[in-house]
Amino acid sequence: MPPIYTAENVKVIHRLHYGWSGWLKERSGSFPRTLGAAFEQCRDAWKDDGLELEHWNTDADQLQCLVAAQPGISPVTCCARIKGRLQHALRKLGTPTAFSRKVGFRSLGENTREIVAAYVARQADKSDYVDDRFKDWLDRFRIAEPECLTEPTISAHGRYWYNLHLVVVVADRRYPMTRRETFHTLRSEMLRIAQESDCGIGSLAPMPDHVHAALRGDIRQSPLELALTFLNGLANALGRNRCWSQEVYTGTFSEYEVARVVGQ
For the chain, the domains span: 16-108, 111-156+163-258
The reported pLDDT for the residue numbered 13 is 97
How does 175-188 read in b/e, with b if 16+ C-beta sit within 10 Å?
eebeeeebbebbbe
Coil, helix or strand at residue 237: helix
Q: Are 234 and 189 in contact (CB under 8 A)?
A: yes
pTM surpassing 0.85? Answer: yes
Q: What is the mean pLDDT of each run of 10 residues along the chain (264 residues)?
A: 93 97 82 95 97 93 95 98 96 94 94 87 67 77 88 92 96 79 92 95 91 96 97 93 94 85 56
3-state secondary structure of 255: coil
In CATH, what class is 16-108? alpha beta
Count the residues in the chain. 264
What pLDDT score was predicted for residue 261?
A: 65
Per-residue buried b or exposed e for 32-61, using 16+ beta carbons within 10 Å of the residue's own CB: eebbeebbebbeeebeebbbebeebeeeeb
What are the start-end ranges of the E strands in the chain?
11-15, 17-24, 51-59, 62-69, 99-108, 143-144, 153-155, 158-161, 163-170, 200-206, 210-216, 244-253
pLDDT at 137: 80
Nearest-5° angle of CA 217, CA 223, CA 226? 65
Between strands 163-170 and 244-253, the pairing is antiparallel
Q: Does domain 111-156+163-258 have CATH number 3.30.70.520?
A: no
Q: How far apart are CA 150 and CA 148, in angstroms?
A: 6
Give the DSSP H/E element, type plus range, for residue 234. Answer: helix 223-237
Establish whether domains 16-108 and 111-156+163-258 are of one fold: yes
Give DSSP secondary structure letters for 178-191.
Answer: --HHHHHHHHHHHH
pLDDT of res. 28: 58
